[in-house]
Amino acid sequence: MTRRGKERSGELRPEDVELVLVKYPRDRFATDEDLDARWDAVESTIDESLGRLDLGRCEDVDLSDALTFRVATTDGDAAVEVITKALRDAGVLDGAIVASENDLPDEEI
C-alpha cells in the first residue's frame, strides 16, 4: 500500500536529488490507528523540518513489510541529521532507521 504525499510546489531537479529512507518495522504498531497516527506525525515532521531549511520533502510512503518514507533531498547527510533530530524532538524516533539510500544494503531499500 502506498499513499502519495501532499501536492507540493517547487520541484527538485532529478540530478540534484539524494534519497533518504525512514523505516519503521510494521510490527511496531499495535493497531491501525497507531500506524496512521505515526504515519501522519512522521510525514509532517519530515516535511516541516526539511522545508524550513529548503533541504527537501517526503516524496512518498510505502507500507509493506515496513512503514517506509522516501525523502528527496539536496543533501543526504544533512537531511539524515535534521530528520533524526526532528523525529527525536517530536517523540517519534523510537524504532526508526534513518539513512541515506546509498548507506543501506540493497535488501533494506
pLDDT tens per residue, range 49-105 = 999 999 999 999 999 989 999 999 999 999 999 999 999 999 999 999 999 987 766
Residue 37 and residue 60: Cα distance in Å, rounded?
Answer: 16
Interatomic CA distance for residues 30 and 71, integer angstroms:
25
User: Which domains does the chain show, CATH number per domain?
Assistant: 15-103 (3.30.70.100)
Q: How far is C-alpha 17 from the geometric centre of its chain's CA atoms?
A: 14
- Residue range 6-21: mean pLDDT, rounded: 68
Residue 22: C-alpha distances to residues 33, 99, 107, 109 (Å): 19, 7, 15, 10
